[in-house]
Each structure stands twice: as C-alpha cells, then as structure tokens.
Amino acid sequence: MTNLTLWVLVFPLLGFILLGLFGKAMPRQAILTIAWGASGLALFFATIGFLSMMKTTPDAARISDQVIYSWVNSGTVATGVLSNNVPLNISFGLLLDPLSATMLMIVTGVGFLIHIYSAGYMEDDPGFWRFFAYMNFFIFAMALLVSADNFLFLLVGWALVGLASFLLIGFWFTRRSAVAAARKALVINIIGDFGLLLAIFLIFQNYHTLNYLSNSAGNGVFNQVTQGGVAVGITTAICLLLFVGCAAKSAQLPLYMWLPDAMEGPTPVSALIHAATMVTAGVYLVARANPLFQVSPDALIVVAIVGGATALFSATIALTQLDIKRVLAYSTISQLGYMFMAEGAQNYTAGVFHLTTHAYFKALLFLGAGSVIHALGGEQDMRQMGGLRHRLKITYWTFLIAALAISGIIPLAGFWSKDEIVGSLFARALNGGGTLFYVLWGVALLTAALTAFYMFRLVFGIFFGSYRGSGPRAHGHDDEELFEEEEHRGGHGGFYAIYESPSIMTVPLIILAVLSVIGGLVGSYALFGRPAVYPFGHFLAPLFTNNAWTNITVPEMPLSLGMSWISAGASLGLAGLGILVAWLRYRRGFEYKASRNPLYLLSFNKYYIDELCIAVIIKPLKWLGRTANSLLEGGVLDGGSRGIAWVASGVSSGLRRLQTGYMRNYALAILFGVVLLLIYYAVMRG
C-alpha cells in the first residue's frame, strides 16, 4: 500500500506559500492555476492512496504509519511525574488507515470542488488571491489534522484549522460584524483547544506516549488501553477533555455559538469549513479515539446526551430563522449532534458515514445558497426571495436534491446514514442502553421531522411562490449609496435581472448533487439484512468493530430486520410529515408574519442564548475588568507608584534646604566632617 499522504500535505502548503507571498502581484489566471493545481494534486494523491488501500488485502494490512522525522527525542526522564524511566519521544508521522483515507477523500474532494466554485463566487473580490491562499492553507491544515499519527500533531492541525477558520470568517475585515464573528469563533475554539491540550497532558502522563498506535517511534496509546494500569476515572477525564475540544470545534452545546456567526464569511467558506469539513473534526476525533471512549462508558453517555440535546436544540432554532445561511448553520449543528449521538451509542461507523454523506449534501446546500446569494447580489434574507425556481433552474434542482437528502428521503444519501444513526440508537436502547437511548431515539426521530420541515420551508421560501424582492442588488453591495438608488427602482429589471450563476459554479453543484444521490448506497445494507455486504462498515471495521490494531472490540448491537424497518419507517414517515407540513404552509411562498407566540419568539431569538451569555459571562467579566482597573490598577499599582514618588519628592525637598549655595557653609560642613573624623580616630584608635 502506498502512503502518499505527505504529498497531500505538501502541495496545498506550497500553494499557500506561493499565493501568500506573491499572489497579490499575480494575474487571476496564475492564482487559479496554483490554487486549483494545489488542491487538485492533493485530491489526486489522496485518491491514489485510497485506491491502493482498497486493493490491499487482508483488512488488517490496510494501515501505513509513516514516521517522517523525530521531533523530540529526550532519552529517559529520571525524575518527576515520569519517574519510571520513560523516554519522551515525539515524532511527526502520517497515518493512512481507512478512517484517515476517508477523511482525506472528503477534505480534498469537497475542497477541490469548492475551489472551483469559488473562482466564480469570488470573481470580483479584491481579495481574490488572499482567499485562495487561505483556502489552500485550510486544506493543508485539515489534511494534517486527519492524517497525523499522534495527538500532538493532531493538536497542531487542530489549531491551524482554527486559524484558517478565523482568517476566512474575518475575510471581509472591513465589516465590523465579520471581525466580531471571527473573534468569537477564535475565542470559543481556544476553549476547546485548551480542553484538548489538557487531555493530551493527561494522556502523556498516563500512557507515556502520544502516538495513536505503536510504530517505529514508540508505543501507541490505543495499544495500551487494554493493558490496564490506567484507572477508568482517568480515562473518563481524558475522554471528557477530548470531548470539550470536539464540542468547541464541532459546535456542540454549549460551545456552538460561534458557528451561526461564522456565516459572516464568504459562502464557499461556510460550505467547506463550517459545514463539510472542519466542523466534523470533533466527530473524527471521537471516532479516532474510540479505544479510549470504549473503556469509559460514562464519557460515551455524555457524548450521546450532548449530541442529542444539540441536535434537537439547534433544529428548533432553525425553524424560524430568516437568513438562509443561518438556517443552514443551525442545520449543520443539528446534524453534527446526530453524528455524536451515533458515536455515543458506540456505532462509530454510523457517525463517520453520516459525516461523509453530510459533507456532500451540506456542501451542496451551502453552495446552492451561495449561488442564490450570488444571483441576488448578496441578499441573504428569505423575505426578499421567492419564485426563484424559474430563474435559477440548476440551483433549484440541486438544492432540492440536497434538501431531500438531508431530510432523509429514500434513496438519497442522507436517508441511509441517518437511518443508520437512528437504527443504532434504537439498537443501543434494545441492547442494554435503557431509557436514555429510547429517549435519544425519540429525539433523533423528532429532529428528523424538524429537519425535513425547516429544509422545505427554505426550499419553498427561496424557490416557490412569487418573487418578493426588488431585483438583484448591485455588485459591491457595501456601496450603500448605489444600493439606495437601486432600492428606488432604477432601471433594473427586478426578477428578470436575476440570472443563473456561471457554469464554473453550477458544475460543482451538479457533481455534489450526484454524490448526494448515490453517496449513501455504500451503506445501504441494513434494510436488506445483509451486514456482510456493507461496504462502508466493512471498510472501517478494522478501526471500529473488530479492531485489528488495538484489541479493543466494539460490541455488536444487533437489530433485527423487522426492528430496522420499524426504525427506518418511523424516520421516513416523520420526515415525510415534516415536508408535508412545510408544503401545506409554504407552497404558495414564504410569508413572514411577526408572531407573538412565546415559543416562536424563543426559537426566533435563538433561546436568547446570546443575550444570556452577554448577561451572565460578558457583563460580569467586563465589570470585573472595570473593577480591577479602578481597584488594582488605580488603587494598588498607581497608588503604590504615586506613593513612592511622593516619598521621594518629600525627602528631597527636605534635603535641598541643605544646599544653601553659600560657599562658607560648605566649608564649615567640611571642617565639621574633618573634626568628626579626627575625634573618631582619636577616640576609637587612641
């Protein structure tokens, strides 16, 4: 098996460096060549690695851990916490196994498509080169995150994708709101990074290594899990701290607030980073660290509960939002909650499967929304849309496919993965999971119905009914004056001035639509009762079900054919119900009515979480800052230094009276001193 992961990393990094240093002076075509070339080559090498893995037999041989260089090699540590003579060795290595191969395919594949799409979307942006430099940087960082073979370089990738996300959210840095959103994302992600860092410290303290698996550079953490010697409590602490990192990166409760705000970035960024790839890093990490989670049932239950709560919570918010990107953002949070639920129910395969299909249809939804926004010249408010299916045909059909897929309509991709998650929750409930997992199963079903409803509210709101806006805004929509003029009905043709996006944008939409249709078939086994021919599960089995490399086996949760049909039928029926309700309500077009219903207001205002945060965290912090400023800074520090100055000036103004300026006084003082010295010698030495 060939491990070409290094090349997957090198080209985007090279592209970033070239574009970052010289991009400003480059013509458009050169920028595109470098950016597309870098991400295309990354995709090429990832595909070669993936294909060569597919050809490798047996399954247990589908792993390649390439240690590239030894970064820290300290010899043994004689004293301190690590007193039992453990060497501190950290190496930089790249791990290619089924999980990282899958992730690399998603990252580079979706990344490449979005690179192409962005060429159209960012066409007139003055920061064209900067955008592609950051995008290449993101591909590099994310590929590092998923292919690192130890926790330290995972953290490096983790922090770098956070940086890429910060840079791209704040891409339009002249907008105050974009800068605020970028800062918010960074701050919340730092909380997560801190949790991850603490987890890594604990791992090193207890397992004396940071490698995932044993390789030429030393022992692996996961190989030692079954050897005992580390208390379950410690492992639980490690898992929970890891999950803090995952929750921040994957926008789970209570650290989800940054993701809706992250929609301030350009739409392709929302599609790539804040929907398809980066936010799934948390799901990836839990799947990657499954041997640790597997020995800590408590941590798994926390993961499942947080996932379930997030899925339902954010789905209810998505019901009432008016900004189409915000609806999609909350939908992303909700779908990530699904993935964590599956992982909490010990079905990691289902989580990663949903991650994969979600990457297709959520990228498609965002790119479709981007196409709508592009056609309307920057308009994101659903109240200003409607009837667009007549003008944006390709966007409409692809968006509809994605909406059907995310709603879980058979036989699109979302159906299979969502059904597997719902089924895994049901199976966990039947296999000793108890009430909690029945509740989570119910939550998953309810969320499925809500998902279908809000997605079709969006579809009907954007594409059905009659057009409610006043034609596309002028390009360069920051130009308020021009915009005002347009508002007063200039020569613009209103609805007929709206044109479908160029083919550079629609082709990626079509490709993603195809993937959203067929992408789930690799997991379409459950309803036919043939687990043996489940290609996706089989592919990932060495990591999850019959762990070939770590001796940890995840227990099978059998679900009889009848039960899986009940579960699938329930989720399908509820999704259909959601679509039906949306159809009844919105088929003639979306109409915004301010409602006084308290439940509506609660959802519309996002449960007042932002306001709550401001009141509970930010205000007290600000008060603390002000108080510290006046008390510590003003009273203690300033007071102290002012006191010292006061003493010094008091003493010196006393002393200056000695300097009379009369020469004869000085002479007298000298004489006096001499006499004193003489007396001293006469008395002491005499």
Partner 1 sequence: MYNGIPVSWYLVVSAILFTLGVIGVLVRRNPLTIFMSIELMLNAVNLSLITFSTYLNSVDGQMFVFLVLTVAAAEVVVGLAIIVSIFRTRRNINVDEMNILRG
Cα separation, 607 vs 486, in Å, equals 36
186, 162 Cβ separation under 8 angstroms? yes
1, 96 Cβ separation under 8 angstroms? yes
Stretch that binds partner 1, among 66-74, 94-102, 295-303, 659-667 (CB under 8 A): 659-667
Q: Whose Cβ is closer to partner 1: residue 27's or residue 686's?
A: 686
The torsion defined by the Cα of 665, 667, 673 and 675, in degrees rounded to 10, comes to: -110
Beta-ladder partners of 72: 90
The two tokens of residue 88 are: 């501190």
Residues 634-653 that bind partner 1 (CB under 8 A): none
Stretch that binds partner 1, among 30-38, 109-117, 278-286, 656-664 (CB under 8 A): 656-664
Cα separation, 128 vs 147, in Å, equals 29
Q: Whose Cβ is closer to partner 1: residue 69's or residue 662's?
A: 662
3-class secondary-structure state, position 593: coil
Q: Whose Cβ is closer to partner 1: residue 177's or residue 660's?
A: 660
Cα separation, 512 vs 371, in Å, equals 14
Q: Whose Cβ is closer to partner 1: residue 201's or residue 672's?
A: 672
The correct pick among 647, 667, 676, 678 for binding partner 1 (CB under 8 A) is 667
Q: What is the largest distance, in Å, between two alpha-carbon atoms of the chain?
A: 120
Residues 116-155 that bind partner 1 (CB under 8 A): none
Phi/psi of residue 373, nearest 5 degrees: -65, -40
The correct pick among 532, 584, 655, 684 for binding partner 1 (CB under 8 A) is 655
Task: In angstroms, give the least distance from the CB of 672 to partner 1.
Answer: 11
Q: Whose Cβ is closer to partner 1: residue 584's or residue 682's?
A: 682
By CB under 8 A, is residue 662 in contact with partner 1? yes
Task: In angstroms, give the least distance from the CB of 658 to partner 1.
Answer: 7
The torsion defined by the Cα of 39, 45, 46 and 50, in degrees rounded to 10, comes to: 160
Q: Whose Cβ is closer to partner 1: residue 25's or residue 663's?
A: 663
The correct pick among 599, 621, 628, 668 for binding partner 1 (CB under 8 A) is 668
The correct pick among 176, 488, 596, 656 for binding partner 1 (CB under 8 A) is 656
Task: In angstroms, give the least distance from the CB of 635 to partner 1.
Answer: 34
By CB under 8 A, is residue 658 in contact with partner 1? yes
Task: In angstroms, give the least distance from the CB of 660 to partner 1.
Answer: 5
Stretch that binds partner 1, among 524-532, 544-552, 598-606, 658-666 (CB under 8 A): 658-666
The correct pick among 490, 644, 660, 673 for binding partner 1 (CB under 8 A) is 660
Phi/psi of residue 35, nearest 5 degrees: -65, -50
By CB under 8 A, is residue 78 in contact with partner 1? no
| Crossing angle for the helix pair 281-288 and 232-249, to the nearest 10 degrees | 160
Task: In angstroms, give the least distance from the CB of 664 to partner 1.
Answer: 6
The two tokens of residue 92 are: 């930089």
In our burial notation (b when 16+ CB lie closer than 10 A, e otherwise), range 301-320 reads: bbbbbbbbbbbbbbbbbbbb
The correct pick among 663, 682, 683, 684 for binding partner 1 (CB under 8 A) is 663
Task: In angstroms, give the least distance from the CB of 665 to partner 1.
Answer: 9
> Per residue, what are the HEC states of 180-228?
HHHHHHHHHHHHHHHHHHHHHHHHHHHHCCCECCCECCECCHHHHHHHC
347, 421 Cβ separation under 8 angstroms? yes
Stretch that binds partner 1, among 131-139, 183-191, 366-374, 660-668 (CB under 8 A): 660-668
Phi/psi of residue 386, nearest 5 degrees: 115, 140
Task: In angstroms, give the least distance from the CB of 643 to partner 1.
Answer: 24
Task: In angstroms, give the least distance from the CB of 625 to partner 1.
Answer: 45
The correct pick among 126, 493, 661, 686 for binding partner 1 (CB under 8 A) is 661
Task: In angstroms, give the least distance from the CB of 650 to partner 1.
Answer: 14
By CB under 8 A, is residue 682 in contact with partner 1? no
39, 140 Cβ separation under 8 angstroms? no
Using CB under 8 A, list all residues that contact partner 1.
655-664, 667-668, 671
